[in-house]
Amino acid sequence: MADPITDKGGADRLTLIDTFVRIVNAGSLSAAAEQLGATQPTVSRRLQALERAVGVRLIQRSTHGMQLTEDGRRCYDRAEELIASWQAFDSEVRGAGQQPVGTLRIVVPHAFGQQRFVGPLATYLERYPGMRVEWLLNDRMPDFVADGVDCAIRVGEVADESVVAIKLGDVPRIIVAAPSLLPNGVVPQHPGELAGLPWLALRTFYRDGIALSNTATGESVRVPIQPRMATDSLYALRTAAILGLGVGVASTWIFEEDLREGRLRQLAPQWQASALPLYLVYPASRLQPRRLRAFIDTMRAELGQWLNIGPQALG
């Protein structure tokens, strides 16, 4: 099938440049084709058309893979800047009332991405019907360039200086256990009563001890623990707690239904672990296209309601 871009005699240079950037970011012609919704031969023809237009070889291809030539490396940074600038220009020219269209690739933590964040995502897609989203579950920070990711939502502090981190709020954490684990059914009121109970550890945030603070007085204590089970899965910790394997500490939202139904009890109700910061991050080198700005605004508003954050805290 003919490609209207290359068939126009190279008139659409911006599309050719965008294809070149996609190939480099994706790492292969086939991966770039998948992102663009095109065929691999089409992507290859566009790359060849750009190389003819600029008069230099940009990518060296062989049976062992592909790599940028010296000219390609020099052109890549300028090409990325050009595409980002064009996207920002296009968004501004179309005006604030123009509906964003296109695709966003978003990385979210497993537990939050399967449950808590799907509601705000639905709001975004209902509000902007021209948008499509690739919702990728991963608890680690993505490689934005190699993975072709637009943004990620992270639970916990973000130390990477190469990204922009927008704080969405703080997720409270509480202490829970199954009723069968409590001696005589009595709920412990102070952290000092917890050390003798069997524990579950969420390796991502605590392993051999956890700091707790009194929500009324601000008093802080550290509870040493010897966990019977350690996991990196929030859902596995929840299930183990329901089965009575030990005391667990995790985000309040995941226990809400279990607390209402009586499967779990909150221990030391006036004490909590430190809340976990929630961030939306994206590469610092990229401008925000309208579709990404709209997603950020939607998440801030939706999660602000959930976390009871006022507008001044979101500013």
60 in a domain, yes or no?
Answer: yes
The domain that contains 218 carries what CATH number?
A: 3.40.190.290
289 in a domain, yes or no?
Answer: yes
Does residue 295 share a domain with residue 242? no
Residue 310 binned pLDDT confidence (cut-offs 50, 70, 90) = very low
**Over residues 160-165, mean pLDDT:** 86
3 in a domain, yes or no?
Answer: no
Q: Looking at residue 65, what is its pLDDT? A: 74
Residue 132 binned pLDDT confidence (cut-offs 50, 70, 90) = very high
For the chain, what is the domain count? 3
Q: Looking at residue 263, what is its pLDDT? A: 97
Give the domain range for residue 38.
10-93
In the chain, pLDDT over 70 holds for what percent of residues? 88
Q: What is the mean pLDDT of the chain?
A: 86
How do residues 201-243 score in pLDDT, each as one tens digit? Answer: 999 899 999 999 999 999 999 999 999 999 999 999 999 999 9
Q: Looking at residue 311, what is its pLDDT? A: 35
How do residues 22-46 score in pLDDT, each as one tens digit? Answer: 888 888 888 888 878 888 899 999 9
Helices 118-127 and 290-306, packing angle to 10 deg: 130
Q: Which of 132-136, 160-164, 180-184, 310-314 has the lowest mean pLDDT?
A: 310-314
Residue 147 has pLDDT above 60, yes or no: yes
Does residue 254 share a domain with residue 269? yes
Q: Looking at residue 238, what is its pLDDT? A: 97
What is the model's pTM?
A: 0.67
Please give the full DSSP string across 20-75, using - where no structure is assigned. HHHHHHHSSHHHHHHHHT--HHHHHHHHHHHHHHHTS--EEEETTEEEE-HHHHHH
Does residue 259 share a domain with residue 233? yes
The domain that contains 309 carries what CATH number?
A: 3.40.190.10
Does residue 119 share a domain with residue 86? no
Final residue of a domain: which of 76, 93, 110? 93
Does residue 295 share a domain with residue 235? no
Instruction: Report d(CA 286, CA 302) in Å as an integer.
Output: 24
300 in a domain, yes or no?
Answer: yes
Burial of 248 (0-12, 13-18, 19+ CB in 10 A): buried
Q: Looking at residue 308, what is its pLDDT? A: 55
Instruction: Report d(CA 169, CA 4) in Å as an integer.
Output: 46
15 in a domain, yes or no?
Answer: yes
- More confidently predicted of 308 and 132: 132
Does residue 161 share a domain with residue 179? no
Does residue 255 share a domain with residue 179? yes
**Over residues 277-296, mean pLDDT:** 83
Final residue of a domain: which of 64, 93, 122? 93
144 in a domain, yes or no?
Answer: yes
E strand or H helix at 105: strand 102-108
The domain that contains 28 carries what CATH number?
A: 1.10.10.10
In the chain, pLDDT over 90 holds for what percent of residues? 50
51 in a domain, yes or no?
Answer: yes
Does residue 15 share a domain with residue 87? yes
4 in a domain, yes or no?
Answer: no
Burial of 259 (0-12, 13-18, 19+ CB in 10 A): middle
Final residue of a domain: which of 57, 75, 93? 93
Does residue 294 share a domain with residue 165? yes
Residue 260 has pLDDT above 90, yes or no: yes
**Over residues 165-175, mean pLDDT:** 92
Q: Looking at residue 76, what is its pLDDT? A: 84
Does residue 187 share a domain with residue 68? no
Residue 246 has pLDDT above 60, yes or no: yes
Residue 257 binned pLDDT confidence (cut-offs 50, 70, 90) = very high
Q: Looking at residue 250, what is its pLDDT? A: 94
**Over residues 101-129, mean pLDDT:** 93
Q: Looking at residue 285, what is its pLDDT? A: 63
Q: Looking at residue 276, what is its pLDDT? A: 92
Does residue 160 share a domain with residue 175? no
Does residue 220 share a domain with residue 125? no
